[in-house]
């Protein structure tokens, strides 16, 4: 076997305590078409060993297709996919060493939690004694030791999710794939599970590809994010860089809120010259709102100032959001609620200002 993926079971037979060996994944110009429809087009991407990569995009952007290709459920129409340097484009799913968490969890409803967890080990021919030990260990890790005998239908949503994660990890695969795993959970549980996934990733050091349409999940979990749109990669970067320096208008609007200044009647003053074919963008939290009569800030020289009228004020706990009419268009302004802050009402005249260096130029 020329694959340099070393699997603990496959290689030595019993080297069970070894941590999984994360694998590097490469997409080389991958295209997938269904009849007339192109789901993914010319996708090239490298996922480093042990990296947590998130594929983010709206529905129909090709993110799920990408995962299906990586999982071996679909074969690419063109291009190649390499896992640990070996082409896997036409390797069926059941000959790949991977763990997958499905959106619906896909727990076998006719098997108990324990038998669900046995399944991947059984398919790999792991002996009964080792199976028991490994299942016990992973059940303890996800705090479900007492629930091994339950049927999936007797578990809560969060517990089902943890079983699904445990089942994907129990065979120590070098790759973990997750397909919108948290979309069925409520908000509080979702945050808790995000922490759980993150800590499992750290502990297992496994190469992880996570597909979601939820920008918060992507920002919180990932080492790197790939933003997809209409079957193509729009931008790939770390969460911080992606949010702070989006290269396209789509990324700017999909990840957080963005004021595209070209859409407004605002004449942009900027330190840099505007590159050809781009528009200026500023994040709502970078804009300060103040009473027109208030004294100028000390760094006023580096700021652009416009006047507007408050259209609407939305209070959202820690944040306050203003829609401010400037000329014929509306700018969104977000500020953290703090004590002693002046609150503006619809109809109030306000002064908006922002640092000229906070303006970003994104491809239109």
Residues that bind another protein (CB under 8 A): 1, 3, 5, 7, 9-11, 13, 71-73, 75, 83, 86, 88, 90-100, 102-104, 106, 108-112, 115, 119-120, 122-128, 151, 153-154, 167, 171
Question: Shortest Cβ distance from residue 86 to another protein (Å)?
Answer: 6
CB of 131 to another protein, least distance (A): 9
Q: Which of 315, 317, 318, 288 is nearest to 304 (CA)?
A: 288
Nearer to another protein, 46 or 154 (CB): 154
Residues 6+ apart with CB under 8 A from 52: 198, 201, 208, 210, 221, 222, 223, 224
**Min dist. Cβ of residue 107 to another protein (A):** 8
Q: What is the DSSP string of 203-246?
A: HH--EEEEEES-HHHHHHH-SEEEEEETTEEEEEE-HHHHHHS-
* Identity of the residue, 86 or 245, whose beta carbon is nearer to another protein in the bound complex: 86
Separation between Cα atoms, residue 326 and residue 356, nearest integer Å = 18
Considering the complex, state which of residue 171 and residue 225 has its C-beta at the smaller distance from another protein. Answer: 171
Task: Between 160 and 248, name the residue whose CB sits nearer to another protein.
Answer: 160
CB of 151 to another protein, least distance (A): 5
Closer residue to another protein, CB minimum distance, 63 or 229: 63
**Closer of 104 and 357 to another protein (Cβ):** 104
Q: Smallest distance from the beta carbon of 325 to another protein, in angstroms?
A: 42
**Three-state DSSP state, 67:** helix
Comparing CB distances to another protein, the nearer of 105 and 243 is 105
Strands 99-101 and 175-179: parallel
Work out how close the CB of 7 gets to another protein at its nearest, in angstroms, rounded to a whole number.
7
Token couple for 302: 């580096």
**Alpha-carbon 39 to chain mean position:** 19
Query: 224-229 and 259-260: which strand pairing?
Result: unpaired
**Burial bucket for residue 240 (CB in 10 Å: 0-12, 13-18, 19+):** exposed
Q: What is the DSSP string of 344-360?
A: P-TT-EEEEEEEGGG-E
Give whichever of 35 and 318 is closer to another protein, judged by the CB atom: 35
Q: Min. distance of Cβ 141 from another protein in angstroms?
A: 18
Strands (E), the chain: 25-34, 37-47, 52-56, 78-83, 86-87, 99-101, 175-179, 207-212, 224-229, 232-237, 259-260, 278-282, 288-290, 303-316, 319-326, 329-336, 349-355, 360-363
Q: How far is the CB of 178 from another protein (least distance, A)?
A: 12
The token duo for 182 is: 């948290």
Rg (CA), the chain: 25
φ, ψ for residue 248 (rounded to 5)?
Answer: -130, 160
- Residue 14 or 342: the one with the smaller Cβ distance to another protein is 14
At closest approach, how far in Å is the CB of 105 from another protein? 9
Nearer Cβ to another protein (109/317) = 109
| Alpha-carbon span 165 to 150, nearest angstrom | 16
Taking the complex as a whole, how short is the minimal distance between the CB of residue 148 and another protein, in angstroms?
Answer: 13
Query: Is residue 35 exposed (0-12), middle (13-18) or buried (19+ Cβ within 10 Å)?
Result: exposed
């Amino acid at each position: 076997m020329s694959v340099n993926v070393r699997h603990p079971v496959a290689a030595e037979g019993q080297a069970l305590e070894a941590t999984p060996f994360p694998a590097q994944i490469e997409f080389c110009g991958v295209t997938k078409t269904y009849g007339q429809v192109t789901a993914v087009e010319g996708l090239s991407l490298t996922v480093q060993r042990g990296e947590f990569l998130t594929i983010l995009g709206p529905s129909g952007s090709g993110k799920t297709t990408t995962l299906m290709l990586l999982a071996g459920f679909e074969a690419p129409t063109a291009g190649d996919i390499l896992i640990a340097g070996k082409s896997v484009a036409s390797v069926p799913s059941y000959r790949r060493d991977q763990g997958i968490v499905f959106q619906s969890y896909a727990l076998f409803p006719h098997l108990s939690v324990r038998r669900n967890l046995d399944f991947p080990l059984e398919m790999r021919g792991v002996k009964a004694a080792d199976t028991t030990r490994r299942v016990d260990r992973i059940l303890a890790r996800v705090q479900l030791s007492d629930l091994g005998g339950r049927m999936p239908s007797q578990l809560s949503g969060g517990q089902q999710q943890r079983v699904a994660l445990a089942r994907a990890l129990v065979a120590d695969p070098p790759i973990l794939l997750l397909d919108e795993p948290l979309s069925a959970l409520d908000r509080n549980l979702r945050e808790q599970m995000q922490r759980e996934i993150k800590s499992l990733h750290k502990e297992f050091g496994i190469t992880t590809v996570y597909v979601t349409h939820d920008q918060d999940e992507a920002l919180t979990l990932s080492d790197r994010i790939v933003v997809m749109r209409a079957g193509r990669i729009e931008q790939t970067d770390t969460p911080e860089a992606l949010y702070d320096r989006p290269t396209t208008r789509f990324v700017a609007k999909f990840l957080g809120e963005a004021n595209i200044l070209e859409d407004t009647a605002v004449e942009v003053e900027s330190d840099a010259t505007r590159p050809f074919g781009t528009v200026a963008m500023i994040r709502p939290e970078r804009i300060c709102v103040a009473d027109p009569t208030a004294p100028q800030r000390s760094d006023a020289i580096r700021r652009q100032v416009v006047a507007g009228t408050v259209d609407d004020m939305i209070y959202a706990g820690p944040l306050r959001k203003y829609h401010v009419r400037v000329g014929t268009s509306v700018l969104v302004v977000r500020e953290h609620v703090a004590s002693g802050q002046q609150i503006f009402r619809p109809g109030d005249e306000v002064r908006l200002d922002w640092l000229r260096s906070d303006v970003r130029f994104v491809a239109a």
